[in-house]
């Protein structure tokens, strides 16, 4: 025979002060954990939405980031003639029948942001018309940049976070000022945290004689990717290697790992303190309700029933805190911020995403705190005999 749960809920309601204080402590712990998971989910969403499964990146051998890579003009001319590369259809920005190989130049510029007036690094990507044709992008404001002009278009995340990079304004890098002529959106991808411009104009400003940082290639399928990878990796003239575009962006999620680790560490430390608070609360409850325990034993409830009852009460208390923690974090959902990436040396904007999985893990974490914190007091309650319990009262 088990003790009715209404008995435990009634006792939690009667001890309003201690219930609220303990629940708040557990709630803050859960809030830290859920926020850390929301950060990771937001970053994963951005990078998972980046790249095309048909496309690969060609980088210099031994390099894993576009910014530190260089591909020579000779290598570009050799690679664009290889079999397995898709050809451009008749479409704006691409010449029909042209191999879909986009040489791209990257640099980093410093711009003041809404969070950091002293400036944050932003990626500037130079590309040719074929590069635009290989991307799914919509220009929400203004127009696309024109070849041979000092014009740029910015991702919508850049426009929101960098006041000087909004349409109609100018940004300074290279040899002078560049006019912002458009704001684009590219799904839920890292491209929204970039500035795009004409590759040849960017080369001229930074006095780069040909070459590029990387090559973006659209292939004819998985078989073509493997064949192309083998050919390029084994050709000593090219000094280059191939990585799938999706895999490249997936590797960039490591930028959020330090923050995630910090969040989890803080949550564990706070959980220890919350477990002790739950223990103290339940010990006080056991001491104060000694007569009730004796009465329950006299009514025929066994030791295990008493233990389960107090354990359940502790877990209910913790779950109340867990719900409070989830409610605390809900305003964070959809909040846009940025994190620096150690591979690109620039900021990537993302939105916090509180997923059902994060909520479930937060509540389970709260339940675990309640179980750990309530076990010893529940054990002490279960050990009390009828006579001893009445005498202690």
Phi-psi region of 142 (alpha: psi -120 to 50; beta: other; left: phi over 0): left
Predicted confidence at residue 79, as pLDDT, reads 94
Predicted confidence at residue 236, as pLDDT, reads 92
C-alpha 381/C-alpha 97 separation (Å) is: 81
Residue 230 and residue 324 share a domain: no
Residue 289 and residue 151 share a domain: no
Of the listed ranges 66-75, 177-186, 383-392, the least confidently predicted one is 383-392
Q: Where are the alpha helices (DSSP H) in the chain?
A: 5-14, 16-48, 73-79, 129-133, 156-161, 199-205, 222-234, 245-251, 257-288, 290-298, 303-329, 356-383, 386-392
Burial class (CB in 10 A: 0-12, 13-18, 19+), 218: buried
Residue 188 and residue 151 share a domain: yes
Domains in the chain, number: 2
Residue 115 and residue 183 share a domain: yes
Q: Which of 196, 188, 246, 195 is nearest to 43 (CA)?
A: 188
Q: Which of 326, 333, 123 is nearest to 213 (CA)?
A: 123
Residue 163 and residue 116 share a domain: yes
Residue 53 lies in a domain: no
Residue 368 lies in a domain: yes
Of the listed ranges 45-59, 64-78, 209-223, 300-314, the least confidently predicted one is 300-314
Residue 103 lies in a domain: yes
Q: Which of 328, 306, 325, 329 is nearest to 380 (CA)?
A: 306
Spatial contact of 372 and 364, defined as CB atoms under 8 Å apart: no
Residue 24 and residue 137 share a domain: no
Per-residue pLDDT band at 297 (split at 50, 70, 90): low
- The answer to whether residue 375 scores a pLDDT higher than 90 is no
Residue 44 lies in a domain: yes
- State the DSSP code for 115: S
pTM: 0.77
Close Cβ partners of 364 (under 8 Å, ≥ 6 residues apart): none
Residue 108 lies in a domain: yes
Residue 147 lies in a domain: yes
Question: Which domain, by its residues, includes 296?
Answer: 5-48+255-392
Residue 335 and residue 225 share a domain: no
Residue 213 and residue 76 share a domain: yes
Q: Token pair of 18, please?
A: 């201690």
C-alpha 292/C-alpha 102 separation (Å) is: 77
Residue 369 lies in a domain: yes
Per-residue pLDDT band at 346 (split at 50, 70, 90): confident
Residue 97 lies in a domain: yes
């Amino acid at each position: 025979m088990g003790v009715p749960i209404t008995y435990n809920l009634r006792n939690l309601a009667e001890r309003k002060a201690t219930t609220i204080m303990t629940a708040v402590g557990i709630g803050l712990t859960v809030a830290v954990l859920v926020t850390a998971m929301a950060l990771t989910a937001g970053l994963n969403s951005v990078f998972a939405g980046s790249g095309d499964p048909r496309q690969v990146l060609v980088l210099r051998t031994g390099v894993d980031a576009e910014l530190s890579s260089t591909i020579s003009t000779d290598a570009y001319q050799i690679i664009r003639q290889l079999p397995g590369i898709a050809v451009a259809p008749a479409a704006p920005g691409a010449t029909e029948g042209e191999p879909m190989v986009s040489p791209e130049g990257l640099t980093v510029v410093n711009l003041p942001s809404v969070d950091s007036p002293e400036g944050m690094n932003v990626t500037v990507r130079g590309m040719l018309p074929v590069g635009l044709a290989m991307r799914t992008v919509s220009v929400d404001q203004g127009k696309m940049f024109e070849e041979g002009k000092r014009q740029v278009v910015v991702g919508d995340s850049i426009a929101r976070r960098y006041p000087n990079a909004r349409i109609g304004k100018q940004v300074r890098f290279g040899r002078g000022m560049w006019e912002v002529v458009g704001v684009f959106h590219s799904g839920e991808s890292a491209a929204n945290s970039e500035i795009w411009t004409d590759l040849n104009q960017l080369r001229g400003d930074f006095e780069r004689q040909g070459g590029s940082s990387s090559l973006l290639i659209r292939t004819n399928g998985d078989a073509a990717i493997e064949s192309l990878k083998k050919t390029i990796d084994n050709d000593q003239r090219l000094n280059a290697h191939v990585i799938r575009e999706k895999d490249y962006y997936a590797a960039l999620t490591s930028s959020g790992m330090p923050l995630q680790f910090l969040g989890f560490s803080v949550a564990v430390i706070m959980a220890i303190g919350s477990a002790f608070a739950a223990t103290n609360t339940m010990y006080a409850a056991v001491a104060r309700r000694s007569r009730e325990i004796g009465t329950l034993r006299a009514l025929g409830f066994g030791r295990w029933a008493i233990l389960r009852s107090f354990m359940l009460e502790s877990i209910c208390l913790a779950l109340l805190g867990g719900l409070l923690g989830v409610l605390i974090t809900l305003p964070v959902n959809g909040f846009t911020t940025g994190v620096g990436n150690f591979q690109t040396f620039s900021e990537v904007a993302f939105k916090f995403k509180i997923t059902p999985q994060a909520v479930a893990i937060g509540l389970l974490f709260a339940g675990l705190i309640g179980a750990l914190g309530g076990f010893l007091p529940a054990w002490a309650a279960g050990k009390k005999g009828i006579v001893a319990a009445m005498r202690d009262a």
